[in-house]
Amino acid sequence: MSNKTLWLKSPAAIYTGNESNAGNGLVIQGTKIIELVPSGHTPISKIDHYIDCSNSVLTPGLINTHHHFYQTLTRCVPGAINKPLFPWLKYLYKVWAHLDEDMIYSATRLAGLELMLSGATCIADHHYVFPEGLENAIDIQVEAIKSLGCRATLTRGSMSLGESAGGLPPDSVIQNEDTILEDSQRLINQYHDRADDAFIQIALAPCSPFSVSTELMKDTATLASQNKVLLHTHLAETEDENSFCLREYGLRPLDYLESCNWLNSHTWLAHGIHFTDEEIQRLGKANVGIAHCPSSNMLLASGICPTIELENAGCNIGLAVDGSASNDCSNMIQEARQSLLQQRLRYGAEVITAEKVLSFATKGSAAVLQRPGLGEFKPGQQADIAMFSLNELRFSGVGSPLDALVTCGAYKVEKLMIAGKWVVEDEQHRIIEVAKLMSQHQDLARKLQNSAIN
């Protein structure tokens, strides 16, 4: 890595994720930010190169905290359209049972690229479908992520409670619990990087209370604690889930989670909608993270995440696009706009601002994934930077470029930097051929959907 300095000079607007004044840009050296340049000042550092950013908005690289990459192969599948969560899942499980290695590789690359082109530098995936022949799905994902050049938290998901045992998924997509735990340990040993500048990290992620046994929930929590890795699952997404937990366990979802030793600061939850006021206080006291998924929650009519109450109680709130079968789009900056619109319905325009939803997508998400070197601009942080051009019709006439980034609907980056290296320039990934990837992905999507029909 070069020791030469780069000044990202005079941006039209900059979101730092903190109170720092960086109105005249950032200075990068190697993989890190070394200086924030206040408005009206020039860098203290000796500058080797600079880029004029006067028509661009800079933000820390966006961080997606929950996704299901494989679901890009099942966007808008007719049999799953216009259904709430449980019927939607029951239809699609039968499709996903036909996933293969090529499909996982292609879907991971396509979902990751879609996220990167919308400003994401660090992405999280929750993969929990392991049909026979796809036992090495996470290994395939690691290789796909490396080809993209982004950071990722890949979760070793699991389903062990099939229909025959009272669970939601068909028996064809569940695994033996000893197999799940052994593979979880193997993946941690092989891929989990504990460094502050890590590109690949592993977390453990039973799918949900209605798809794994109590024993697996407890054993996974023990394994995660022993290895000092994070825990992740879906929780309180719908009222149906609450009813399931009360019927099967005699407990509400959060009480069940606590009984399985999950209520702690190493856990983050997807959705987190249907909590009582008392449960919100317990979540905050335990410093549990929440992946806020506005588009998915609206599309499946699940509800609205109480982000402000959760945040005020002590939870970290991150942003997430969720799986493409329930969102049908993996666009992080568009998800920030969706959050702005949805959350204003609950909290009003004065509370939910562009800065607020950008904080969910950057510093908040970094806190959820426990990546302190990411998510904001300050000296010593990783040089992960999204640069959005204002050279579009949608931005003509704006008075506040930062607000326009969210409100006027930015959807792609001009440039994307990860660890001091440009991985996207002129709105294109420097390595991936988009047309070729899309063609392969589309063919595999047809194959998957036809397999389910036949």
pLDDT (tens digit per residue) in 234-261 = 999 988 888 888 998 999 999 999 999 9
User: Cα–Cα distance between 170 and 300 in angstroms, integer?
Assistant: 21
Asked whether 167 and 174 are in contact (CB, 8 A), the reply is yes
* CATH no. of 5-59+382-429: 2.30.40.10
Integer Rg of the chain from CA = 21
Condensed to tens digits (0 to 9), the pLDDT of residues 116-173 reads 999 999 999 999 999 999 999 999 999 999 999 999 999 999 999 888 888 788 888 8
Read off the pLDDT of residues 66-79 as tens digits, 9 standing for 90 and up: 999 999 999 999 88
Question: Which band of pLDDT confidence, cut at 50, 70 and 90, is reported for residue 454?
Answer: low
Residues linked to residue 120 through DSSP beta bridges, in sequence order: 62
Query: How far apart are the C-alpha atoms of 403 and 437, rounded to whole Å?
Result: 33
User: Is the model's pLDDT at 320 over the cut of 60?
Assistant: yes
- Whether the per-residue pLDDT at 339 is higher than 80: the answer is yes
* DSSP calls for 385-445: EEEEE--SGGGTT-S-HHHHHHHTT----SEEEETTEEEEETTEESS--HHHHHHHHHHHH
% of residues, the chain, pLDDT over 70: 99
| CB-facing half-sphere around the CA of 46: CA atoms within 13 A | 3
Mean model confidence pLDDT for the chain: 95
Q: What is the pTM of this model?
A: 0.97
- Alpha carbons 370 and 391: distance in angstroms, whole number: 35
CA angle (66, 71, 73) in 5-degree steps: 150
Alpha helices in 150-213 (DSSP H): 177-191
Handedness of CA 266, 271, 274, 280 (dihedral sign): positive
How crowded is the C-beta side of 332, counted as CA atoms within 13 Å? Answer: 36
DSSP three-state, residue 17: coil
d(CA 298, CA 307): 15
**Is residue 1 over pLDDT 60?**
no
Integer Cα distance of 394 and 408 in angstroms: 6
The size of the chain, in residues, is 454
The answer to whether the CB of 269 falls within 8 A of the CB of 236 is: yes
By three-state DSSP, how is residue 338 classified? helix
The mean pLDDT of 377-391, rounded to a whole number, is: 98
Classify domain 62-368 at the CATH superfamily level: Metal-dependent hydrolases (3.20.20.140)
- Residue with structure tokens 């939910």? 352
Reported as a single tens digit per residue, the pLDDT across 288-304 is 999 999 999 999 899 99
For the segment 83-122, what is each residue's pLDDT rounded down to a tens digit? 888 888 889 988 999 999 999 999 999 999 999 999 999 9
Domain ranges of the chain: 5-59+382-429, 62-368
* Residues of the chain by 3-state class (helix, strand, coil), percent to 5: 40, 20, 40
Q: Can you give the pLDDT at residue 425?
A: 98
Q: What is the DSSP string of 197-249?
A: T-SEEEEEEE--TTTS-HHHHHHHHHHHHHHT--EEEEES--HHHHHHHHHHH
Listed in sequence order, the DSSP H helices in 45-196 are 85-96, 101-117, 137-148, 177-191
Q: Is 43 left (phi over 0), alpha (psi -120 to 50) or beta?
A: beta
